[in-house]
Structure 1
Amino acid sequence: MINLFIVESGLELIPRKIWKHPTIIRYCKKRKKPPNKILLDISFHYDAMQKLKDWYKRGRPDIVHICLLEALSSPLNLNGFLRTFIHTFDEKIIFIDPKIRLPRNYNRFTGLMAQLLHDGKIPPGNKEKLMWIEKIDLDDLFRKYRPTYTIVFDENGIYKNIFNFVSNLSAEKIENMFLIIGGFQRGKLSRKFHEKADEIISIYKHSLDAWIVVSRILCALEIRLNIY
């Protein structure tokens, strides 16, 4: 099983610290929802976000949306080889049923994720969970799943041609491998993720969007595992 872990993603509800900012008040009034049921989005909340710590890494649910569409629609996932997690900036870990049909429409996606972050699971109630949040930290997650090999993708890592790199990975390493990719637009990956890595690699000479990294690594693994 391949474990895809999108970390420090810009996915969170509007923080209480900026609820009273005029930008937030206007936006919530327009949406007819309270701030604790709306996702933080830098496209709409830029002025208010300047007051937040590490604001430049936050408020980008679109990155998560595209990464998830890439991952969940991939042949790797459709053939039962992929498990996907989302780690948020505010340290929540989201578990995802690989069979979920994620909304393609961005507005529907943000509504769904706001509901998830507010209620703790999708759908609410006693129905079978498709996405849910567990009270678990990074160390607990790694103890639970016991990765056979952990790769962190970082623009400052050692350059590797991704297709050559994956083709040379042993079956033992791939068996329960963790792939860690930052889900934010700017800034550096926190050290705690580097500390979990067996290798820290870069797949291009310049910075790439997270969803491009996701698509390239999953494609390389599909070729390696003869899924096509």
Structure 2
Amino acid sequence: MSVDTTPQLRFRLPGEWIAVDPRDEQAAREHSAVIARELVGAADDAVLTRRRVQRGFDEAAAAAREASAHLLLMCREIAPGIPTPVTITVHTPITITPSVGTAAEAVMRAFELSLPHTREPDLETATRVDAAGSAVLRLHAVSTQLIEEDGASAEQKRLVARYWYTVPGHKQVALVQMSTPLGDIPHAMLGLFDAIVAGSSWSAVDAA
């Protein structure tokens, strides 16, 4: 029997987060409802804001399931007393062809050359980001959504950033997607996301 030697991506996340298997739809929805209530409060006049936050979590979980992600991280607060609706999904690595060796820069160059021939969106936003042990490429987009509840409606801007990491020692890239309904402040949130990437690292598969 072969042994999977692919290293695992680890994060040093600020604040308090919940880890969920996105493949469990019911559990993910229950967690998103709880976190939205904790972030926004239970007041009747906050229903639209609460619904907006919960929808952001639910959509991140749904996208994670569709993409066969194996981990969903949902933020309760980024620092004590600072609730921040952010989700992170971590996806299984994919292999890059043709053969280019396993050096991070060589794998990333091959991946970048392949992007125009894929369905990967937002290529005009492609930006390199620093991370230990990996070459990382970031793509991002801000979209506008309409939230309706009890006859009232409100717009929200949602920021989604997709980080493609090279996997150390392998001819692979792994996707980490970060999203937030705080798309009105994209530069600040991208700064936070980039800082999370900069603080991430790879460890042996059997590490705690």
Same fold (TM over 0.5): no
Q: What TM-score results when the alignment is normalised by the length of structure 1?
A: 0.26
Higher helix share: 1
The alignment's TM-score, normalised by the length of structure 2, stands at 0.28
